[in-house]
Amino acid sequence: MSGLEAIGAAASIIGVIGALKTCIDLLDIISTARGADMELENLLVHLQWQRIRFSCWVQETGFTEAIVQDDERQDMRDSDMMTLLPHDFHRGHILSHIQRSVANMNMSLQAARPTLERYFPNQASSSGSWRKRLDRFLNPSTALNGAVLRETEAEQLKLGLWARIRWASGDEKELSRLVDTLRKYNAELADLLPFYRMARFERRIGRVLVTTRQLAASMADIGLNNNTTSDVDAGEVGRQYSLMARLLESRHETDALETDSPKPAEENSQRALAALSTASRYASRVAASQASLYLRASEFQFDKHGAEGFRTQEFGFRETSPVIIEWRHYSSEETRETLSGVDARVHMLAMQLQQLSALAHTGVLPCLGYFHDEKRCRYGIVFRYPGENSAASPTSLEHRLSQDQPRHIRRDLEDRLRAARSLVGTVYQMLSVNWLHKSISSSNILLFEGDRDSHTVESPFLGGFSLTRRDNDLEPTDL
């Protein structure tokens, strides 16, 4: 076979492979288009589920009363609003995180609104004052009952040919991303609840599902065959409420609550937009008077000592105060969507570190917040020196052991036991808030010593948070 014949044969094989790939892609699009009705219905059930979780969270945290009082009293001050919230939410960094999460949820819903309206062009916008819309949003079962009285013979949603093609070409991914985004922020908001409120929070959600027969049945059905989104709790919810759904399907006592007709789920998303906007404005107002986690890179000057290039820790100054910056690097190929997830994880980490460092006898340096260094694709988490030891120079436990061993220095046994107990308590407190540390070693334990030749051991502080993550199946260890 000549060279030209070999090239021709190779080109033919490549052409056949390309044609096969095109056919497979077309078949995938056709398959997606055929199941568009069912997939759209499933996604709307997930959207309704996230709306209910958020509405129950708003009621559990007391923000509902604060919003209503703010509307009724025009002269209400920020300090008056704070008294309406549980004491657990009075910290500035918690309010800042709530404001950030709610604003991002609202932004995601606003961005997806044209896509939702594309499939529900005849849905009228919510009417009435924002107080009435908020009441409907915070009482899902009442809202559904009202929808039943107005619309007892709703027709099953049917998509046309072009709508199916449009769904398969991109709308499915957009709505799936919306549901995953809402799920992620709902999970972060739920993590802010104290442990003694979690059981009541879940019971509140259960009461809503008990009075919402169709949603409970839909969650059970999707939970058993969940491939639409990465909502990992859908399977657990489906198993948890499958028995309840079967009992409710018997319709012995639920005919007065709902009929078999499907409910306009998009109307619920309209209510969610209004309520999220209101909650976002309120949280912004309260958080404005509180300390923010986000810092500016221009506030810091860095030490020029040490090797240049990639590093995970650096020393510097904020004005005249010495600080330690721990870097969390990310790939320069991150997209805007994935980078927003990175930003949320760093914000959550800084918030947890600030909470831990505020506790007494915790071996975590006081966390001031974080900043974004876009040029070098990294986030800097900022810590200040502990207490009055701003003049002490930090050294790692690894370095201290390597210096003590040649000189046969033995540190005081009681101090060593106290330091070990402090580190164990710090790790325990991190695990208690569902945060995992993958890099606990002597190189990531800092000591602030005034006298290098002393035989005592100063209080140790845990560092190396570049390899930490929340205890979540979908949470990556590295950014």
Q: Which residues pair with 301 in a beta bridge?
A: 317
Residue 437 pLDDT grade (very low, low, confident, very high; cuts 50, 70, 90): confident
Structure tokens at 37: 């009705």
Distance, in Å, from the CA atom of 465 to the CA atom of 468, rounded to the nearest integer, reads 5
- Smallest CA-to-CA distance from 410 within 455, 449, 451, 446 is with 455
The band of 132, judged by pLDDT with boundaries at 50, 70 and 90, is low
Work out the average pLDDT over 172-186. 83
Across the chain, which distance is largest between two alpha carbons, in Å? Answer: 91
Q: How confident is the model over 98-118, as pLDDT tens digits?
A: 878 888 888 888 888 887 777
Percent of the chain surpassing pLDDT 90: 3
Per residue in 55-70, pLDDT (tens digit) is 888 877 777 666 666 6
- Least confident interval from 190-199, 259-268, 277-286, 358-367: 259-268
Higher pLDDT, 229 or 459: 459
pTM score, two decimals? 0.51
Least confident range from 210-214, 296-300, 315-319, 325-329: namely 210-214
Least confident residue range of 12-26, 29-43, 269-283, 346-360: 269-283
Among candidates 88, 83, 130, which has minimal Cα distance to 280? 130
Contact 434, 470 (CB under 8 A): yes
> What is the token pair recorded at 100?
């950030």
CA 248 centroid distance within chain: 33
Other C-beta atoms lying within 10 Å of the C-beta of residue 469 = 19
Amino acid at 159: L
Among 18-22, 136-140, 463-467, the range with the most confident prediction by mean pLDDT is 463-467
Extents of the domains making up the chain: 1-31, 35-288, 297-470
The H or E element that residue 316 is part of is: strand 313-318
pLDDT, one tens digit per residue, over 277-308 is 555 554 444 444 334 688 888 888 877 544 44
The count of other CB atoms within 10 Å of the CB of residue 246 is 12
∠ Cα 249 136 139 (to 5°): 50
Given a cut of 90, whether residue 383 has pLDDT beyond it is yes
Instruction: Look at residue 387 and tell me whether its pLDDT is greater than 70.
Output: yes
Q: Which CATH number fits domain 297-470: 1.10.510.10, 1.10.238.10, 3.40.640.10, 3.40.50.510?
A: 1.10.510.10
